[in-house]
Structure 1
Amino acid sequence: MSQAHAGTDALRAEVRAWLEKHLSGRFASLRGAGGPGREHERYEERLAWNRHLAEHGWTCVGWPQAYGGRGLTLEEQVVFHEEYARADAPARVNHLGEELLGPTLIALGTDEQRARFLPGIRSVTQMWCQGYSEPGAGSDLASVSTRARLDESAGEWVIDGQKIWTSLAHEADWIFVLCRTTPGTTRHQGLSFLLVPMDQPGIEVRPIEQLTGGSEFNEVFFSGARTAADLVVGEPGEGWRVATALLGFERGGSTLGQQVGFARELDDLLDLARTNGAIDDPVIADSLARAYVDLEVMRANVVRGLADGQAPSIAKLVWGNWHRRLGEVAMQVLGAGGLAAEGDLDRWQRLFLFSRADTIYGGSDEIQRTILAERVLGLPREPKVNA
């Protein structure tokens, strides 16, 4: 056995043993709680669990040790996320800070910004949300119209505009905002990446109720909201570079943990199909078999492509469509009874409804295909149509 494999095996055993010991007592009932479409579920208890993880050094595992992380390699991070998913541990509440903003500040922030914000992210005492999408700028992020001007006399940025689909904005202490700071610019030019406190009179958060009944997404309105002049990541006008760098951190080692969760969903759906007899329908049996094969292929491709700079676009296309199809198969397995709900939706109805968004959020299929066509295959750039 190579030294590298011996190291990952030891880490796997350590993570597995720690989770088995600590997902007990007051945390035992949290197994499986939370996740996409269920971020509202037992939020305070999951927050307490996240802080428990932090106290024992299991947050920000991929961050350098100098910033409070464990400095795990990509392979080691995969081990952690796989074991976390296998334990059916609750969905963590600080993904945006830990997996997105933290690595961005480590790579592009100032020493002062890192000293101010990284400790709170690592300890899960400072919650973040993401201010990217707008009513007129979803997948086409370069069309953002939220604006900020520098009030030099006050030493502050003044922000006006609107963001939408802002996950957990109602729970966040801070928001990182992509906005236009150079008047007269368009597209990628003149954007800046600002760090903005949520608790101030110039910010209003309105929940958006989903088909699944939850409201983890929000609209955020800025009306003269303010943040300090030095809370811009990178130079003013470099926001596009910072924003795209952050998106590059979005899908890393945690992607394979996601595959473990998908496998559990498929296993549970197979159990349901065997129990209610749906497995005897050859069409449904074929759909379930295809889902199993596709999941194995997806995992193999993710493992092979983690180090590939374009792998995130491929992975997003594959898992988003696979998960949406699984929701459709789930409704086939449920049969006519799945069309009605008494009170709350069951897990399969919720899967079907929420997975319709899997091919949209985090970069729509159309955007991912354009990235692959232009940057990987070298095809001509898509013509831009001026509004």
Structure 2
Amino acid sequence: MDLRDSAEEARFRARLRTWLAENVPDESEPAVLAERWPYMRAFQERLYRAGWVALSYPTDVGGQGLGPMEEAILSEELGRANAPTLLPLGHLGRPLHRYGSEEQRRRYLRPLLAVEEIWCQGFSEPEAGSDLASLRTRAVREGEEWVIDGHKIWTSYGAFADYCLLLARTDPDAVRHRGISAFIVPLDTAGVTVRPIVLANGEEEFAEIFLDGVRIPAENMLGEPSDGWRIAMDVVNYERGAVETGYLPKFARYLSELGEVLTASGLGADRAARLRLGRVAAHLEVLRMHCLRTLSARVSGAPPGPESSVDKLLMTAVEQELMDLSIELVTDVGSPGRAEWFDRYLYGRAGSIYGGSAQVQRNILAERMLGLPRQQG
């Protein structure tokens, strides 16, 4: 893969940089999520109206008809411009586009991509986090409706969402992975209760969703019965890729900030500190190169697969190494930005759990890429 922009990609990048220079808000993101959410949403709406969001989706569903390379350029340039964080919605549109009926694609995709309607992902449960196949939420067919009972947890931005892409067991007698189906659940439906979860840093980014006799139309099933596991794997493969989620430019910015902290603290001449910073820089470059390998496969037409677990493991390692170093360097209580670094550190601890734990990622790589046998017993 040629890592240089083509002439067309260079023009795209230049236009995007110009737009960002004129449109990224001067004020920083609000510290409180209740205020930060409308700030993030307003910026993403502006991006969509200008044609910079949903780049690789077809034009007939509200996209731009471009490709993964443009998506990667957008991610890089947003990071360089220190733009507001984008809402995690793009990967939820993928299963709607791939598995949805014509009516579902026409009804839901454009409002999702335009952030007119907010979606969340109802996968994890109290007893089914890393082991998603053990989920207990049930959906039972009654005439022209499905009746859903269960409990979801760690649902990102669930308190702000209008719809949930929800997994439920529809065939209790099937093998664990095969009896799961996916549903489109409006969160204002009778029987749905959404309860925010307060995190260690005081944020309420996650929520619990309780479903008590929730009735939805039969046509709200996404795909066919028992397609749920396949749909879930498609979602998480898109979710785990560091190129699309924008972690690369964010980590590069953090690394630069830590270099400035190192110099300002008088530790710039400390060989051990410089070596640690250099080690993080080297690991970030390994992550970048692997993400480019993944991107090369995407440009060639290959959908995300189990190799995205490598991206996820490398991404987690780099983030936690960065945050561990920041806690050591930003030690003075009065240091500027200390509270912000501590919030980043706390959030980084979850990196080895969300999106599938590190242990799950290693199992995926062992079984699906290396062909190792599943341990019995």
TM-score, scaled to structure 2: 0.91
C-alpha distance in 2 between matches for 1:286 and 1:4: 32
The aligned residue for residue 357 of structure 1 is: 350
CA deviation after TM superposition for structure 1 residue 53, in Å = 1.5
List per-residue Cα deviations over 1:134-170 (Å, max 9, x = no partner).
0110011101000111121xx2211111000011111
C-alpha distance in 2 between matches for 1:141 and 1:222: 18
List per-residue Cα deviations over 1:254-276 (Å, max 9, x = no partner).
44732111000011011112112
The aligned residue for residue 18 of structure 1 is: 19
User: Is the contact between residue 307 and residue 369 of structure 2 (CA under 8 Å) also seen in structure 1?
Assistant: no
**TM-aligned CA distance change 1:293 to 1:254, over 3 Å:** closer
The aligned residue for residue 38 of structure 2 is: 44
1:170 maps to 2:166: no
**TM-aligned CA distance change 1:267 to 1:377, over 3 Å:** same
SS at match of 1:358: helix
C-alpha distance in 2 between matches for 1:2 and 1:349: 35
Letter in 1 for 2:26: A
List per-residue Cα deviations over 1:2-30 (Å, max 9, x = no partner).
9970110011011111111222xxx3214
The aligned residue for residue 209 of structure 2 is: 220
1:369 maps to 2:362: yes
C-alpha distance in 2 between matches for 1:57 and 1:44: 20
CA deviation after TM superposition for structure 1 residue 298, in Å = 1.5
User: Is the contact between residue 165 and residue 219 of structure 1 (CA under 8 Å) also seen in structure 2?
Assistant: yes
**TM-aligned CA distance change 1:223 to 1:52, over 3 Å:** same
Question: Superposed, which structure 2 residues align to 1:1-387 within 5 Å?
Answer: 5-23=6-24, 27-30=25-28, 33=29, 40=34, 42-93=36-87, 95-96=88-89, 99-152=90-143, 155-252=144-241, 254-255=243-244, 257-306=246-295, 307=297, 309-335=305-331, 337=332, 346-383=339-376, 385=377
List per-residue Cα deviations over 1:353-382 (Å, max 9, x = no partner).
111111110111101111111111111113
TM-score, scaled to structure 1: 0.89
**TM-aligned CA distance change 1:2 to 1:287, over 3 Å:** closer
CA deviation after TM superposition for structure 1 residue 248, in Å = 2.4
CA deviation after TM superposition for structure 1 residue 309, in Å = 3.2
Letter in 2 for 1:363: G
C-alpha distance in 1 between matches for 2:158 and 2:12: 34
CA deviation after TM superposition for structure 1 residue 56, in Å = 1.6
**After the TM superposition, which parts of structure 1 deviate over 4 Å for at least 4 consecutive aligned residues?**
1-4, 37-41
CA deviation after TM superposition for structure 1 residue 55, in Å = 1.5
Query: Could you tell which deviates more after superposition, 179-188 or 207-216?
Result: 179-188
CA deviation after TM superposition for structure 1 residue 302, in Å = 1.2
SS at match of 1:220: strand
C-alpha distance in 2 between matches for 1:353 and 1:249: 24
CA deviation after TM superposition for structure 1 residue 323, in Å = 0.4
Letter in 2 for 1:316: K
List per-residue Cα deviations over 1:271-330 (Å, max 9, x = no partner).
112112233443322211111111112111211233273331101000101101111101
Gaps of 5+ in 2: 298-303
**TM-aligned CA distance change 1:102 to 1:2, over 3 Å:** closer
The aligned length equals 369
C-alpha distance in 2 between matches for 1:73 and 1:309: 17
List per-residue Cα deviations over 1:82-126 (Å, max 9, x = no partner).
112111110112x23xx2221211111100100110121122110
Q: CA RMSD in A?
A: 2.4
C-alpha distance in 2 between matches for 1:345 and 1:175: 36
CA deviation after TM superposition for structure 1 residue 251, in Å = 4.0
Letter in 2 for 1:116: R
Gaps of 5+ in 1: none
**TM-aligned CA distance change 1:212 to 1:116, over 3 Å:** same
C-alpha distance in 2 between matches for 1:222 and 1:370: 31
**TM-aligned CA distance change 1:39 to 1:262, over 3 Å:** farther
User: Is the contact between residue 196 and residue 226 of structure 1 (CA under 8 Å) also seen in structure 2?
Assistant: no
C-alpha distance in 2 between matches for 1:277 and 1:227: 62
SS at match of 1:120: helix
**TM-aligned CA distance change 1:3 to 1:185, over 3 Å:** closer
C-alpha distance in 1 between matches for 2:193 and 2:219: 23
User: Is the contact between residue 202 and residue 224 of structure 1 (CA under 8 Å) also seen in structure 2?
Assistant: yes
User: Is the contact between residue 83 and residue 257 of structure 1 (CA under 8 Å) also seen in structure 2?
Assistant: no
CA deviation after TM superposition for structure 1 residue 45, in Å = 1.9
User: Is the contact between residue 196 and residue 208 of structure 2 (CA under 8 Å) also seen in structure 1?
Assistant: yes
